[in-house]
Structure 1
Amino acid sequence: MMQQIRDSLNGPVIVGVLLLIIGIPFAFSGIEGYFQSNANPPIAKVGDSKITADQLNRAYEQRYRRLQQLLGENFRADQINSQRMRESVLQEMVQTSLLQQQAKSSGYRAGDAALRDYLTAVPAFQENGKFSTQRYKELLAQNSYTTDSFEAQQRDTLMVEQLRDVVLGSAVVTPDDAKLALRLSKQERNFQYLQFEPAKYLADVTVTPEQIAARYEERKASLQAPERIKLAFVELAQSKLAKAAAPSADILKTLYEAEKATRFSTPETRKASHILINFGADKEAARKKADDLYAQLKGGANFAELAKTASDDPGSKNKGGDLGIIKRGDGLLPPKFESALYGLSKAGDTSEPVETEFGFHIIKLTELSDARTQAFEEADVQKALTDLYINKELQLQIQEKSKQLEQLAFESDASLEPVAKELGLTIETTDWFTRAGGAGIAANPAVIEAAFSQAVLTDGVNSKPISVDADRLVVVRKAEYEAPRQRQLAEVEATLRDELRNEQARAKAVADAKAALEALKSGKTIEEVAASLNLTAQSPGPSTRSRSGLGLALLDAVFKLPRPAATTSSYGEASIEGGATAVIELKTVVDGSLKPGTEPAGELASIREARAGAEFNAYHEALKKLIKVELKELPAQEPVAP
């Protein structure tokens, strides 16, 4: 029940699980929102909605952290193009805003039943395969969400999904489309090829000191050692704070009385079904139809079956009119509807037709849950109260120490010693890292930004407290710094020598490949050409576009060659994986086809999916013209020299 979910929100869990598993858009959690910049300019305007710099920064950090969690030890900060990722995140935020505004203006809504079905199916909210109210409330509390804000956000998501489903469902594919696609997708091509590996030519390559020196002068500007920095830092972590002792019964009782009405009380809820008759062009005819249906129900007709055949509500008719849980005063349904529902006395009762702005409703009360307040003595109430008390004490501690951390870092900005001594923290040091980031806290974009800021880098003062995780704050300062410098020839000589040798070896391989191709075109067999070059012609046999083990570049080149004539082959060359060059002889082409009497069901589904995706992309582009989008140019990230 949604009400039961809403009424029991508290408790801590593993930080970040909710963000990682269900990916809340633009979310931020824990104490990372403690320090906020006063400068929060809008960087995009989508219709009447604005996207601010803070929203983008939080969304970017969420994406960055999610990559860290997903990749684990394989994560490499230096492989992240932060500017490109920020632009990608902003585009996704714009697209989400466009779809939300269009969905709302088009009348899409997500009711309690749809929201309940969605939330109960989220693995993050389950224990032993079943929805757990406790798990749900812990995750929301840990991520600083109220039930209202979280559920409103999920309603927006479900609303957009309805719009997306309508657009995707509009794609139409005919059997002839599928047959044509099958002909191409299942096509088999029989070919042979010669592979020219640059590595085999390295022994014949000589690079002189003069060539290396010339290359150094050519690339001198790019052969810079990037600036790098080491940071000293102190860390304040909520997880390392001492937990308060279990409170006395009197304290728990006081806390219970304060929380009883909201946390431990479940108001009356009702589950309902309805049959809706739209007014149409003739309101009186609609009224008569509703009266006739009500008479049929009084005569013993099955409500669910009648809803499936007669209701005008597309969202509920196929479910027998089921609307899910309706809470008094939640505003999801018209007041007259709600009044009629709560006027029914017991499960199974059916109302007479009720007129609202949507039409005439016949309402059935299918389930009634009485209001209930959990007793103070119940074991789960005692546990919830104890956890709540301990969590509140931790929150008070972290708030107080966070304020101290900020104040001390500012007042003693020339050193971390007073900060560490006052708060009982240890001063730690990072390894060297560049603007591309490094290990540990140096992988955090906010830390990288602070490290190379004027305050830390130039002025040499402590940073403001920075959130590096949902329960951790750090203050950093410069420990050591190396400015960008020109690498000397001796430092890069080996690299440049290898670069020149590889280039020359590849040039020799390409030259031999071109000569081999001309020999094939002049009439020599691939076996003869292979023998003259001490190579072996490779014959993979009939291959489709999706064959594994051959490499995408080779297959792409094979399937771009023209069909061979009846008595001659087609020839071509291609740069393939690993820097090699392939010379290809295409011998035969056999189009894909269906077995007699079969239908292209799989192909239909595959083509429909691709076409639906293209149509949705086109729809999204059309929305940009319908709903005005204004983007400000993002400040460029400073490049890191190779």
Structure 2
Amino acid sequence: MIRILQKDNRLTKALFAVIIGAAVVTMVITLVPGIFDNDATTSGIYASVRRPGVFGRFGQAEDIPTTQVNAIAERQLQAQRLPDFALPFMAQRVAQGLIQRAVLKQEAARLHLEVTESDVRNELRTRYAQIFFPGGNFIGEEKYKQLITSQGISVSDFEKDVRDSLLLDRLQSTITGGVTVSDNAVREAFRKQGLKVKFDYALISADDLKKSLNPTDAELEAFFKTNAARYATAVPEARKLSYIAFDVSSLPGGRPQISDADIQSYYNQHLAEYKVDAQVKVRHILISVAPGSDAKTDAAAKAKAESLQKQVKGGADFAKLAKENSDDPGSKERGGDLGMVRKGQMVPEFEKQSFSTPVGQTSDVFKTQFGYHFLQVTEKQDERTKPLAEVKDTIRPILEQQKVGGAMQNFANQLAAEAAKQGLAGAAAAHGLKVQTTDYLGADGVIAGVPDGSSMLSKAFSTVKGAAPVSVATGEGFAIFQVDDIHAAHAPAFADWKSHVADDYKADKVPQLLNAKLKALADRAKLLNDLKKAAAEEKITVKTSDLVDAAGSVPDVGSMSGPASAAFDLPKGGVSGPINSGANGIVLAVVEKQEPTAEEIAKNFSRTRDAMLNQQRQEVFSVYVTKLVEDYEKAGAIKLNKQAAQTGLQ
């Protein structure tokens, strides 16, 4: 498959995150009841999916490894910056997505849908070329592999995902191919999209109402008692810890040293990483020929290339001719320079000429799928392995990190074992360290003197009081701690919590007050048929919007696709009911409406139809996927290995 990538350098605007995102199903995520109720028996397999019925019993099952579920879930957790405790939920969602993907692949096979090698090649060339061919040059096999594997997915899995995604796209096209929208529906949809309104609106601010509330102590205390359940655990659990902290400077025997023998051993074990492929530095001139061009056009391009090649051989400035004549936008401004290239980066014809032309010589004119080229080789480097002297400085920090990390982990284990027998104070004294004690801390507290105490607190809140000392990493070292005491979550005294109670009281009352005031204003404005007059009676400010469509927004009102969209359904002069966005509330009156012209509707007809078709196709496919997964589950075609799943979710 890597060879496929090496045969084209056309660019697209695809993002690498989109490529890797193919590993996580992004179709319809619906938690189907019962899908995790059955059982599969194969160890290490999270779930197994096969076609329902007799044929499914003898057909090929699609197994979903537990390792795949966990790996994707962890990547998603990191990408979304979610806490570790969300991993079980994320793993279940990932598993659901992968099960749906497997079901759809089984259906695609049942319908005899296929993806050929040519289909995959075209997908990589047209959608993902920019990622692997920046500036028109292939990034090379090594970097290609690194980019993929750095995302936690193997090259083979990535290439399989490209094929699977194409297959599922083909299935979706098959299922939704009959979806249509009528011309009248398209015109009406754009009429609504293109409709513009201008309106007056009376604004009531929730913040202003909150400021106007001044509850008495008696009212607050009554609220506190009425909502006792809300405050039962308002003061969170807090824990007091004792701990020994150390960094590399406290290691017995000091910082581990790296010897030349260590470096030599690492180098010997990783020789493959220091291999450098043979490469040549080339510059070229391209006279492009569009696919399908006639013989006359082809001959003219060849003749131009041959003429330029003769000029170069006659002593003309190669770089100057490239800038003036080459059709390769990625290199012409650099005088045709492509830099150093390795085997496998270019299409075969170009590669053959690059590695067979002597340094300082100019090749004959040759043809590729892009047109006619000739090139000049300016430098050659044979395949080699970087010597130890060249990479020694990069190996040392790797080994230092490994040795220091291992030494600190071993010392932490030793201290924890000694503390379990002698107590923290005894273990600390034996190594010239000190025991420190925290105040009572919440789960989000800060531990003084520890670079990163989050892991310590996380473990502390799952450790019982008096349990054996536990070791944890602290960013720049380790800590060994134990829980000395626990203050359980409890209700506060009213006097201590009065300011919080006041905030809660207002938060509860403001929405009720806002709704009441908005309703009274709307009723009065409709009765008078005059919003401005009704607002003036209550000393409420009235503002006027610009002409806006459904995609627009209005200050203090927000997006016109939200609650304020009611304006588009009102006639000119019509007054709305209460419109409450939470932060503000408005009542509006339409003063002008502007419909799109027939010319605007015609101009946007195709775009609107495509958008409607895409939306309806997604809706149809969503229903199809949900029903299909339900059918597979009811037929027992989805088997979950509960033991593997539970292990993976821990």
Give the TM bin, normalised by the shorter chain: 0.5 to 0.7
Match of 1:322 in 2: none
1:289-320 Cα offsets, whole Å, 9 max, x none, are xxxxxxxxxxxxxxxxxxxxxxxxxxxxxxxx
Q: 1:409 aligns with which of 387, 397, 416?
A: 416
Letter in 2 for 1:189: V
Mapped contact 2:256–2:407 kept (Cα < 8 A)? no
Q: Distance in 1 between matches of 2:438 and 2:23?
A: 31
C-alpha displacement at 1:490, in angstroms?
Answer: 0.8
The residue that corresponds to 1:218 in the other structure is 226
Equivalent of residue 461 in structure 1, options 460, 463, 468: 468
**C-alpha deviation, 1:227, in angstroms:** 0.6
Tell me if 1:600 matches 2:582.
no
Aligned to 1:91: 93
Counterparts of 2:384 and 2:502, CA distance in 1 = 80
CA distance in 1: counterparts of 2:407 and 2:621, whole angstroms: 50
1:94-113 alignment, distance < 5 Å: 94-99=96-101, 102-103=104-105, 108=115
Structure 1 residue 560 and structure 2 residue 562: aligned? no
Any gaps of 5 or more consecutive residues in structure 2? 6-15, 25-41, 50-61, 279-341, 345-350, 354-368, 370-380
2:79 to 39, 42, 66: 66
The corresponding residue for 1:539 is 544
Report the 3-state secondary structure (helix = DSSP H, G, I; strand = E; otherwise coil) of the residue aligned with 2:586. strand
Per-residue deviation at 1:574?
A: 1.7
Q: Structure 2 CA distance, aligned partners of 1:383 and 1:61?
A: 36
**Cα shift readout 1:570-620 (whole Å, capped 9, x = no counterpart):** 431121241x33222245544445526625343344334434443453454
Partner of 2:190: 182
1:571 aligns to what SS in structure 2? coil
How has the CA–CA distance of structure 1 residues 570 and 96 changed in structure 2, closer, same or farther, with 3 Å as cutoff?
Answer: same
CA distance in 1, matches of 2:135, 2:433: 37
Counterpart Cα distance in 1 of 2:45 and 2:439: 34
Q: Which one of the candidate residues 598, 617, 622 is aligned to 2:622?
A: 617
TM-score under structure 1 normalisation? 0.58
Compared CA separation, residues 582 and 262, structure 1 to 2 (3 A)? closer
Q: Larger deviation: 486-495 or 609-618? A: 609-618
Q: Is the 8 A contact 1:45 1:631 kept in 2?
A: yes
* Equivalent-residue separation in structure 2 for 1:4 and 1:262 (angstroms): 24
**Compared CA separation, residues 616 and 131, structure 1 to 2 (3 A):** farther
Distance in 2 (CA, whole Å) between partners of 1:128 and 1:419 is: 62
Most deviating of 523-532 and 593-602: 593-602
Contact kept, 8 Å, 2:528 with 2:534, in 1: the verdict is: no
Is the CA contact (8 Å cut-off) linking 2:521 and 2:534 kept in structure 1?
Answer: yes
The DSSP-based 3-state class of the residue aligned with 2:553 is coil
Q: Could you tell me how far apart the structure 1 residues matched to 2:516 and 2:70 are?
A: 51
2:585 is the alignment partner of 1:581: yes
Query: In the alignment, residue 551 of structure 2 is paired with which amino acid?
Result: S
Superposition pairs of residues 408-447 of structure 1, within 5 angstroms: 408-413=415-420, 434-435=442-443, 441=452, 443=454
The structural deviation recorded for 1:3 is: 8.5
* 1:137–1:438 CA distance, 2 compared to 1 (3 A): farther
Determine the structure 1 residue equivalent to 2:139.
131
1:484 counterpart SS class: coil
Go from structure 1 to structure 2 and tell me whether the alpha carbon gap of 1:99 and 1:437 turns closer, same or farther (over 3 Å shift): farther
Q: Distance in 1 between matches of 2:2 and 2:187?
A: 48
Amino acid at match of 1:247: D
Give deviations 1:411-459, integer Å, cap 9, x for gaps. Answer: 5347567888999999888897645787974556xx6652222xx3334
| Aligned partners of 2:472 and 2:478 also within 8 Å | yes
Provide the rounded CA distance (Å) in 1 between the counterparts of 2:136 and 2:435.
43
3-state SS of 2:528 partner: coil
1:227 to 233, 237, 248: 237
DSSP-derived class of the 2:227 partner: helix
- The secondary structure found in structure 2 opposite 1:412 is helix
> Which residue in 2 is equivalent to 1:264?
275
- Cα gap change, 1:206 to 1:573, in 2 (>3 Å): same
For the Cα contact (< 8 Å) 1:563–1:589, is it kept in 2?
Answer: no
**Contact map agreement 1:45 1:51 (CA 8 A) in 2:** yes
1:230, 1:441 → 2: CA distance? 17
Matching residue of 1:628: 638
> In structure 1, the residue corresponding to 2:541 is in which secondary structure?
coil
Q: How far does residue 65 in structure 1 lie from its aligned partner after superposition?
A: 3.7
Take 1:44 and 1:491, find their aligned partners in 2: how far apart are those partners?
51
SS of residue in 1 equivalent to 2:464: helix
What secondary structure is seen at the aligned counterpart in 1 of 2:197? strand
Separation (CA, whole Å) in 2 of partners of 1:518 and 1:132: 71
Q: 1:153 deviation in Å? A: 2.6
1:193 aligns with 2:206: no
Alignment of 1:21-100 (within 5 A): 45-47=47-49, 49=63, 52=66, 62-68=75-81, 82=85, 86-99=88-101
What's the offset of the Cα at 1:209? 2.7
* Contact 2:209 2:514 survives alignment (8 Å): yes
Helix, strand or coil at the partner of 2:101: helix
1:357 match: none
2:260 is matched with which residue: 247, 252, 271?
Answer: 247
2:459 to 432, 450, 454: 450
Following the alignment from structure 2 to structure 1, what is the Cα–Cα distance between the partners of residues 17 and 570? Answer: 55
SS in 2 for 1:545: coil
Cα distance between partner residues in 1 of 2:428 and 2:127: 47
Taking every aligned residue pair, what percent have the same amino acid on both sides? 14
**Distance apart, 1:518 and its partner CA:** 1.9
Of residues 155, 162, 174, the one that matches 1:158 is 162
Classify 1:433/1:100 alpha carbon distance in 2 versus 1 (closer, same or farther; 3 Å).
Answer: farther
RMSD between aligned residues: 5.7
Aligned residue pairs: how many?
488
In the other structure, the counterpart of 1:332 is: none
Post-superposition offset of 1:95: 0.6
- Residues 234 and 475 in structure 1, CA contact (< 8 A), matched pair in contact too: yes
CA distance in 2: counterparts of 1:109 and 1:480, whole angstroms: 65
Q: Using the alignment, how far apart are the partners of 1:601 and 1:161 within structure 2?
A: 27
Query: How far did residue 262 of structure 1 move?
Result: 8.1
2:574 alignment counterpart = 569
CA shift at 1:216, angstroms?
1.1
Partner Cα distance (1:525, 1:45) in 2: 65
Cα offsets for 1:531-556 (capped at 9, x unmatched): 21122322213322221244447753
Q: Secondary structure at the match of 1:500?
A: helix
> Which residue does 2:216 correspond to in 1?
208
Tell me by how many angstroms 1:131 deviates. Answer: 2.6
Amino acid at match of 1:191: F
In 2: Cα distance, 1:499 partner to 1:257 partner: 67
Distance 1:421 1:112 in 2: 67
Task: Give the counterpart of 2:495 among 485, 490, 493.
Answer: 490
1:498, 1:262 → 2: CA distance? 62
List gaps (5 residues or longer) in structure 1: 6-17, 27-39, 69-76, 268-324, 328-345, 349-363, 365-371, 636-642
Q: Structure 2: how far apart are the matches of 1:237 and 1:142?
A: 29
Contact 2:47–2:63, Cα closer than 8 Å, also in 1 = yes
Distance 1:181 1:151 in 2: 45
C-alpha distance in structure 2 between counterparts of 1:234 and 1:542, whole Å: 65
Task: Name the amino acid aligned to 1:96.
Answer: L
| Alignment correspondent of 1:375 | 384
Q: CA separation of 1:82/1:98 partners in 2, compared to 1, >3 Å: closer, same or farther?
A: same
